[in-house]
Structure 1
């Protein structure tokens, strides 16, 4: 059986993350208003991202992770922009610290070129 994590764009521009074992049926339920809750008053909806999984717990974990993400991270996921997704994951305090220290490259093992001797 295949399970799905998915992301919908609502008519008000917000995003809704969910998971299911039947993506087409679930989208139909969202579109018809059969699913009460967040999406019911924000139709029409558009499927903007989905990922299949072999296990239900994997799809649920993906849904929960995405629900906690910022709008920027969700939009990077939709666009498939992995560099921006990674950059958006840096907490603002860490980003400020990196800028103050001159370390703007976020890759592992990067050095501050000004201090290389």
Structure 2
């Protein structure tokens, strides 16, 4: 049993997956592998159902859920060209 609290160990991740149809979906999770599996089995977000398989193309990690969810919202506000620059490593 660990002495640390779960918040000390939890990594909050904002991710972008590319769907089979070439569209992007941005989300938040604490377990990227589990979340991608959920998307690919149809139990993830409604948007990704029917657009499987999805593949992770971008991630950012944060220490707090609040920071990660704020960034998720900001990324969702970006237009496609801005998301493409972010995914490719250019600054968005």
Would the TM-score normalized by the shorter structure come out above 0.5?
yes
User: Residues 52, 36 of structure 1: CA spacing in aligned structure 2 closer, same or farther, 3 A cutoff?
Assistant: closer
Counterpart residue number, 1:14: 23
* Structure whose alpha-carbon radius of gyration is higher: 1
Provide structure 2 residue ranges, at least 5 long, that are not aligned to the other structure: 1-9
Pairwise CA distance, 1:58:
1.0
Unaligned runs of 5+ in 1: 86-117
Deviation at 1:36, TM superposition (A): 4.5
More strand by share: 2
Where do residues 1-117 of structure 1 align in structure 2 (5 Å cutoff)? 1-82=10-91, 85=92
Aligned alpha-carbon RMSD (Å): 1.0
Name the CA shift for 1:36/1:74 in 2 (closer, same or farther; >3 Å).
closer
- TM-score where L is the length of structure 2: 0.85
4+ runs deviating over 4 angstroms: none
When residues 75 and 10 of structure 1 are mapped into structure 2, their CA distance, relative to the original with a 3 A threshold, is same
SS in 1 for 2:27: strand
Matched pairs, number: 83
The higher-RCO structure (CA 8 Å, 6+ apart) is 2
